[in-house]
């Protein structure tokens, strides 16, 4: 609150200063800036004034006597104009001069005229000041709105922006959360404590102060937090970490205090801070030498988490997908005692999530969620929800009353590669090149023993920019990959380019994404996975931000980087040569399946394997 008062005082001083400056300017409208007031008075007493007049608005006009140059020419006198601050003061300053004029001691003054001051209302006199004040108020309102606060909310700067879940609204329960069985099991203990705290108090056990949910975007961290509150039947205050941070110093800390004070008013409640990394970054990394607004807010959050008693039913949940940037003091026991990873769902979890979202739409009885879950490997809960919605939209577009298996399979392709780009028509030559390119991928994958089965091949362009793609689907989830499996993936990536070289004796730009994926995988094998005899089990690369793309940085000397690049090139080249040999040994099937794909544009994995396993006619 003190910081808010300081901010208001600062703005008040600023406004007063601007008013003073503006009033000074307004008083000198039309004032001549060539001569100061004292210099004009000197003109009178040096007898250089020929005539002067003062009008009803206190504007003084002075004309000097003509001057004679050295060659005898006469120069017309100059005219000066100035607004008088006070007519009485001016007349007092030239009193002796006017007395001398009446006594005949002043020779050059010919005429003068002093008009009666005009009578103006007090409102008109203060009008310039009123205008300045109004302009400043408008400017201040603009600044407040830009910062997210209106003039009506000045007193609420330090108020928390937490949203209280409506009691009448349907509660989210653990039954609404699928594919996170382990996470729900860990959170059930929190629910049990909030429902029956005496059972824990009798034993002397202390419930954790807080739980941090961490994982990739879209895995259901916020949904889990709502389910905890729904199961426990307690008030749920949710706020985003960015809501604490403002441009005004002290506002964030005040909002933290208000948030905890609001939560403590209830017998039991849950505070949920989403994207806590916005306010919980480790200190010393911001601007202002460690004293910026964000760090003050974090300090207040740390103090509040130390200051409340969890036995009274107050509990804190937070979510982030950047746990590596959080301040260590925030993660110590006594604040966030538990860290629960909310990872991407496995095969069974994906199937359960699809079933939960499919309850909201009409689906055909023939839909097999196990097959859809296999094809959607690596998808998050949010992406699976999007897949179900896309299937429903496709069914409506095609005039069906139910979403079919084909709708779900197409929706997976939409999420992966985008919609079909029907207005992009490839020439016959380009279509043929793409057909051979995709069959090159599929054939190399099928002829290697440790590769995922081919599920679908298409040469229909997509809105993502892909002219075609080959989809491989594993029979189940794999959490470990051998060196041989990774090498086979690199060979599969190079299969498209190898087919172009083998058939057309030329190369195209269509392999750009394949090259990127093959290079990335080969570098990881050598620099991170220790799959090189030259570097053994030495890490050459550090991965940060694992949940948001996995940015990496090399941690080795320049000489080692050069050798690392050389080994990456050798590995990709070796797998490229292997892919070329596989296609050369099966060139007849390459021609046959590519021709079939060229004619049909899309073939399934079953069709591909059937043609591949057919014996050629003798």
DSSP 380-424: -HHHHHHHHHHHHHHHHHTT-SSB-HHHHHHHHHHHHH-SB-TT-
**54, burial (CB in 10 Å: exposed 0-12, middle 13-18, buried 19+):** buried
Q: End-to-end CA distance of the chain, in Å?
A: 92
For residue 167, the SS3 value is: coil
Beta-carbon contacts of residue 377 (< 8 Å; ≥ 6 apart)? 347, 350, 473, 474, 477
Q: Rounded CA gap, 147 and 244, in Å?
A: 12
Enzyme catalytic residues: 438
Burial class (CB in 10 A: 0-12, 13-18, 19+), 171: middle
Q: Which two tokens stand for residue 141?
A: 């309102």
358/356 Cα distance (integer angstroms): 6
Q: Alpha-carbon torsion 431, 436, 441, 445, what sign?
A: positive
Measured CA to CA, the distance from residue 538 to residue 541 in angstroms comes to 9
CA–CA separation, 477 vs 374, rounded Å? Answer: 8
CA–CA distances in Å: residue 580 to residues 569, 597, 609 = 16, 20, 20
Of the candidates 476, 469, 487, the residue with the CA atom closest to the CA atom of residue 453: 476
In three-state secondary structure terms, 306 is helix
| Rg (the chain; Cα; Å) | 40
Beta bridge partners of 298: none
């Amino acid at each position: 609150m003190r910081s808010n008062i300081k901010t208001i005082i600062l703005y008040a001083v600023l406004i007063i200063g601007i008013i003073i400056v503006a009033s000074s300017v307004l008083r000198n409208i039309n004032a001549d800036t060539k001569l100061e007031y004292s210099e004009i008075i000197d003109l009178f007493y040096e007898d250089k004034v020929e005539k002067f007049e003062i009008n009803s608005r206190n504007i003084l006009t002075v004309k000097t006597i003509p001057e004679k140059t050295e060659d005898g020419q006469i120069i017309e006198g100059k005219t000066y104009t100035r607004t008088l601050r006070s007519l009485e003061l001016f007349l007092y300053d030239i009193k002796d001069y006017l007395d001398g004029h009446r006594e005949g001691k002043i020779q050059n003054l010919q005429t003068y005229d002093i008009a009666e001051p005009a009578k103006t209302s007090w409102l008109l006199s203060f009008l310039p000041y009123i205008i300045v004040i109004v302009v400043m108020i408008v400017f201040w309102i603009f600044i407040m709105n830009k910062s997210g606060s209106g003039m009506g909310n000045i007193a609420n700067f330090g108020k928390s922006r937490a949203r209280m879940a409506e009691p009448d609204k349907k509660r989210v329960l653990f039954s609404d959360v699928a594919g996170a069985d382990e996470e729900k099991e860990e959170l059930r203990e929190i629910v049990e404590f909030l429902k029956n705290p005496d059972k824990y108090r009798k034993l002397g056990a202390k419930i954790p102060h807080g739980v941090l949910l961490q994982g990739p975007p879209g895995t259901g961290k916020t949904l889990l937090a709502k389910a905890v509150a729904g199961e426990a039947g307690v008030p749920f205050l949710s706020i985003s970490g960015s809501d604490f941070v403002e441009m005004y110093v002290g506002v964030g800390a005040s909002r933290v205090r208000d948030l905890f004070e609001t939560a403590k008013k209830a017998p039991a409640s849950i505070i949920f801070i989403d994207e806590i990394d916005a306010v919980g970054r480790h200190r010393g990394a911001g601007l202002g030498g460690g004293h910026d607004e964000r760090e003050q807010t974090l300090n207040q959050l740390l103090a509040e988490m130390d200051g409340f008693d969890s036995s009274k039913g107050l509990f804190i949940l937070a979510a982030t997908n950047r746990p590596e940037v959080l301040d260590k003091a925030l993660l110590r026991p006594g604040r966030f005692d538990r860290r629960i990873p909310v990872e991407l769902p496995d095969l069974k979890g994906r199937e359960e999530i699809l079933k939960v979202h499919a309850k909201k739409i009409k689906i055909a009885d023939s839909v097999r969620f196990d097959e859809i879950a296999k094809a959607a490997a690596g998808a998050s809960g949010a992406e699976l929800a999007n897949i179900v919605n896309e299937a429903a939209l496709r069914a409506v577009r095609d005039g069906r009353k139910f979403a079919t298996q084909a709708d779900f399979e197409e929706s997976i392709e939409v999420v992966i590669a985008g919609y079909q780009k029907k207005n992009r028509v490839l020439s016959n030559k380009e279509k043929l090149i793409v057909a051979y390119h995709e069959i090159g991928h599929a054939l190399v994958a099928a002829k290697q023993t440790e590769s995922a089965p081919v599920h679908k091949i298409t040469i229909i362009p997509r809105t993502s920019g892909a002219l075609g793609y080959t989809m491989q689907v594993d029979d189940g989830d794999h959490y470990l990959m051998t060196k041989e499996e990774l090498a086979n993936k690199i060979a599969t990536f190079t299969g498209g380019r190898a087919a172009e070289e083998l058939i057309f004796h030329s190369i195209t730009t269509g392999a750009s994404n394949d090259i990127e994926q093959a290079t990335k995988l080969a570098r990881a094998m050598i620099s991170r996975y220790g799959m090189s005899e030259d570097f053994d089990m030495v890490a050459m690369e550090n991965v940060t931000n694992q949940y948001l793309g996995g940015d990496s940085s090399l941690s080795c000397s320049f000489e080692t980087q050069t050798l690392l690049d050389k080994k990456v090139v050798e590995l990709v080249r070796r797998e490229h040569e292997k892919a070329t040999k596989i296609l050369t040994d099966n060139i007849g099937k390459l021609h046959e399946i590519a021709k079939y794909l060229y004619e049909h544009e899309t073939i399934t994995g079953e069709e591909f394997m059937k043609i591949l396993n057919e014996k050629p006619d003798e």
